[in-house]
Chains A and B, each alone.
Chain A
Amino acid sequence: MEGALFFRRFEGVMMANKIVSWIDQRFPLTSFIKHELTEYPVPKNLNYWWNFGFLAGLVLVIQLVSGIFLAMHYKPDVNLAFDSIQHIMRDVNYGWLIRYMHSTGASAFFAVIYIHITRTLYYGSYRAPRELMWWTGLVLLLMLMATAFMGYLLPWGQMSYWGAQVITNLFGATPFIGHEVVVWLRGGFSVGDATLTRFFVLHYLFPFLICAMVVIHLVALHSVKSSNPSGLNLCAKDNIPFHPYFTVKDMYGVMIFLIVFALFMFFAPEAFIEVENNIPANPMVTPVHIVPEWYFLPFFAILRAVPDLLGGVVAMVGSILIYAALPYLDRSKIPGGARYRPVYRIMFYLFMINILLLGWVGAATPTETTAIVGRVCSIFYFVSFLALPFVSKAEERWLRKRGLPQELVEMMVCDVEMDSKRTGGNR
């Protein structure tokens, strides 16, 4: 009896092996899994700040799935859009859940991405050889912002409408052809039916472009491998395979994340939805106080800080694009970002406080005080970047004179070794 059971199971395994080897002759399945998962080396000293890339991928999936199901009930027409959202909320089975999942997911996406970026800044992970990771990440951020902005128009509430009106107007700052560009973007003289339909289509398209970009981001990652808190290439013995060690660790992060996510989705789903957006869009009435979603607030504050339209737009766009220069602005060769660099660490914290202040200014009703705070903070924002080359150089000189910590010096031995292995000794 027992023998028969064993034999049947054995047969099953044999069958599975046959299928796998059939595939392997035609597609690099096993070697791919080995190379990218079970034998992919990850530094063993990663802390929980390294969980957020995985979480971003999870939120992307949540948004894709919930978005596709919402699109089955949504109608991108100025006369139907607002009501179709009400229809989703009241009539569609679990429509409320899917919609709240999607609206909470949008905020979660930015929260996770911002933490992911903040980690990169703190540990200096943007530096060589990970410049391409940093830049593809920046492109991903811009794509995410565009997607979120277009998605925000779809409910066709007052904030949707006026947010889109204001943001499309920013393109009016284009020299000479500003007006034409704005009309072209909207497909009308003001935000209207044509705008809503194209925003819907693009809001549906962009996530798939984001997926493609994520693949590029990951290919770059698997080429340069994860950075780690020490900022150094670890010795081979200090790397452990991604699976099962980091699949488990990432799953743990997912649990914690889903708890927080569910708390918002079920108990405070309206926390991220402006009350004003429950009023249907009215092109003839501007809401008294226009505020963007929380994740745009600091940039909005920088826009408002400049008293000139073109200047404001340039400052706002520049405030995001300037991150691309970071690998070159940071000229220190001391590894580990803020960990082994006290001056950089102070700069990092001041910069973060400054961003929070900007966010507050962006949310506040404009007054004299907020205008001044906004200006000071915007200047500090850009000065931080411009001062970095000098500060980082001076800091490195000071640190080398003082002597690097012993643990760092020990770890650096492997760093040089691994580095020359990677570049074939060409550096």
Chain B
Amino acid sequence: MSNDLIKGEEKIIGVNGEEPKNPKRRDFLVQATGVATGIGVGAAALPFIESMKPSADVMSKATTEVDIAGISKGDTRTVEWQGKPVFILHRNDAQIQAMAETPDTKDPQDDADRVKKPEWLVVIGLCTHLGCIPNRTAEGWFCPCHGSAYDDSGRILHGPAPRNLDVPRYQFVSSEKILIG
């Protein structure tokens, strides 16, 4: 008896000790059960994984409307959007001029591609390195965490940050109001 069981590893034994006529069928059933279980577990896991994504109430606060009339030239204001700071910089002519040239950095981009109107720069105020909030400086922004520097177009000048400051989706609803998101 025990010998049979050990041998069973090589020789498939049927219920009453005989070999099944078609062992492939059993193999198939075993594999099919495995696959079905896998799919079932995967499907059951999906709602749990999805539940960890932002919930509907978080998503509903996905846009922010900002009145920009009060921001005077050369000034910047930080507003909150999706819990993140967004810098709105009202650039003066000198600043616009200075940004016209595209610096040769790791993420070269024309200033024109980063703004909708040249006097308004709207960027997410989180360093693209690890997400600290850069501080305003004379030539743009400087991240205190690991020393990334950005210009007045939010473009990375030097430091560990891989990208320019991200430009969020926004539109001018009127000349004095923008809708971010």
- Interface residue ranges, A against B (CB under 8 Å): 162, 165-166, 169-170, 183-185, 187-192, 194, 198, 283-286, 288-290, 304, 307-309, 312, 366
Contacts and interface: CB of A to CB of B under 8 A. Distances in A.
A190 to B, nearest CB: 4
16 contacts: A166-B132, A169-B130, A183-B53, A188-B83, A189-B84, A190-B83, A194-B55, A194-B58, A283-B84, A283-B85, A284-B133, A285-B133, A286-B144, A308-B160, A309-B130, A309-B160
A284 B85 contact: yes
B106 to A, nearest CB: 9
A165 B129 CA distance: 11
A286 B54 contact: no
A307 B162 CA distance: 9
Contact of B54 (A183, A288, A289): A183
A274 to B, nearest CB: 15
A406 to B, nearest CB: 49
B131 A165 contact: yes
B68 to A, nearest CB: 18
B54 A194 contact: yes
Contacts of B83: 188-192, 283
A363 to B, nearest CB: 14
Given A166-B130, A187-B55, A284 B80 contact: yes
A169 B82 CA distance: 16
A166 B145 contact: yes
Contacts of B54: 183, 187-189, 194
Nearest to A289: B144
A187 B58 CA distance: 9
Interface string B55-90: 100100000000000000000001010111100000
Contact of B160 (A169, A185, A192, A312): A312
Contacts of B58: 187-189, 192, 194
Contacts of A290: 132, 144-145
A166 B131 contact: yes
Interface string B106-138: 000000000000000000000001111100000
Nearest to A162: B132
Given A169-B131, A286-B132, A308 B53 contact: no
A184 B160 contact: no
Given A169-B131, A194-B58, A366 B80 contact: no
Contacts of A304: 146, 160
A202 to B, nearest CB: 11
B148 to A, nearest CB: 10
B143 to A, nearest CB: 8
Given A283-B85, A284-B85, A307-B160, A184 B145 contact: no
B87 to A, nearest CB: 11
B147 interface: yes
Contacts of B53: 183-184, 187
A286 B82 contact: no
B133 A286 contact: yes
A248 to B, nearest CB: 47
A284 B86 CA distance: 9
A323 B31 CA distance: 37
B45 interface: no
Contacts of A189: 54, 58, 82-84
- Which 5 A-B pairs rank lowest in CB-CB distance, beginning with the nearest? A189-B82, A190-B83, A286-B133, A169-B131, A286-B132
Contacts of B132: 162, 165-166, 286, 290
B43 interface: no
Contact of A309 (B52, B55, B129, B133): B129
A287 to B, nearest CB: 8
A286 B78 CA distance: 13
Contacts of B160: 304, 307-309, 312
A352 B36 CA distance: 51
A90 to B, nearest CB: 29
